[in-house]
């Protein structure tokens, strides 16, 4: 049977800009639309505390909605500054545990702001994805690449990342509308 899923980003204006909706309402809205699967955005989470995550998981279960992934829009694993990159990687790791808490299968992470031709940055990105893929294996939550610009704007780099990291817990979820023609 076919199942329709949507990206929660569809509601970003209501949640983030107008603040006429809260993420906790998304499961009910999805059910009313006949949608059983959603991707949430990290920016929709007002907190990562356990009380909120329990409320979100309960709302998802109550309305029969599953979370396929969380688009994590923070961090820069391409950053040349090692200390900043370390902080960003540690911040990204927290999202694996958020995903586990609410029953999400995966998190989706950007590669960072580096140029698609910056070979040193590509090495840093591969190292970052390798470390995150190890955390993915540990938590049994998939890590996916997002291609919102930077080095991942070139599909060849996405293949390079996948080949060099070489983990069954590391996948691609490219948005073809993000590739430069």
Question: Given this model, what pLDDT does residue 20 score?
Answer: 95
Q: What integer pLDDT is reported at residue 181 of this predicted model?
A: 53
Mean pLDDT over 147-171 rounds to: 92
Angle of helix 82-102 relative to helix 50-62, nearest 10 degrees, comes to 40
The pLDDT assigned to 177 comes to 62
pLDDT of residue 180: 56
Where in the chain are the domains? Answer: 1-70, 74-181
- Please tell me the distance from the alpha carbon of residue 110 to that of residue 147, in angstroms, as a whole number: 6
- In tens, the pLDDT along 40-59 reads 999 999 999 999 999 999 99
Mean of the pLDDT values across residues 20-40?
95
Q: How high is the pLDDT of residue 176?
A: 64
What values do phi and psi take at 92, rounded to 5?
Answer: -65, -35
| pLDDT, mean of residues 66-70 | 96
Predicted TM-score (pTM) of the model is 0.92
Tens digits of per-residue pLDDT, 97-154? 999 999 999 999 999 889 999 999 999 999 999 999 999 999 999 999 987 788 998 8
Calculate what percentage of the chain has a pLDDT beyond 90: 83
**Residue 113: CB atoms within 10 Å:** 14
Q: What is the DSSP string of 15-74?
A: IIIS----GGGHHHHHHHHT--EEEEEGGG-S---HHHHHHHHHHHHHTT-EEEEEEE--
Residue 173's pLDDT is 83
* Torsion angle in degrees (nearest 10) through CA of 166, 178, 116, 70: -40
What pLDDT score was predicted for residue 5?
85
Average pLDDT over residues 63-92: 96
Asked if pLDDT for residue 1 goes beyond 70, the answer is no
Determine which helix (DSSP H) or strand (DSSP E) holds 12, and give its type and residue range: helix 12-12
Mean confidence (pLDDT) of the chain: 93
Q: Which homologous superfamily is 74-181 in? A: Divalent-metal-dependent TIM barrel enzymes (3.20.20.150)
Q: CB–CB of 77/85 below 8 Å?
A: yes
């Amino acid at each position: 049977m076919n199942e329709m899923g949507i990206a929660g980003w569809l509601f970003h204006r209501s949640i983030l800009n107008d603040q006429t909706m809260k993420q906790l309402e998304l499961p009910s809205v999805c059910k009313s639309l006949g949608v059983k699967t959603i991707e949430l955005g990290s920016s929709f989470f007002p907190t990562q505390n356990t009380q909120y995550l329990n409320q979100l998981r309960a709302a998802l279960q109550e309305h029969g909605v599953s979370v396929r992934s969380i688009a994590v829009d923070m961090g820069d694993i391409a950053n040349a500054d090692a200390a900043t990159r370390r902080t960003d990687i540690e911040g990204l790791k927290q999202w694996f545990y958020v995903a586990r808490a609410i029953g999400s299968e995966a998190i989706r992470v950007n590669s960072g702001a580096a140029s698609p031709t910056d070979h040193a940055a590509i090495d840093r990105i591969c190292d970052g994805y390798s470390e995150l893929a190890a955390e993915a294996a540990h938590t049994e939550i998939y890590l996916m690449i997002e291609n919102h610009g930077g080095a991942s704007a070139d599909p060849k780099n996405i293949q390079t990342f996948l080949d060099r990291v070489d983990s069954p817990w590391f996948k691609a979820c490219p948005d073809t509308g993000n590739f430069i023609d």
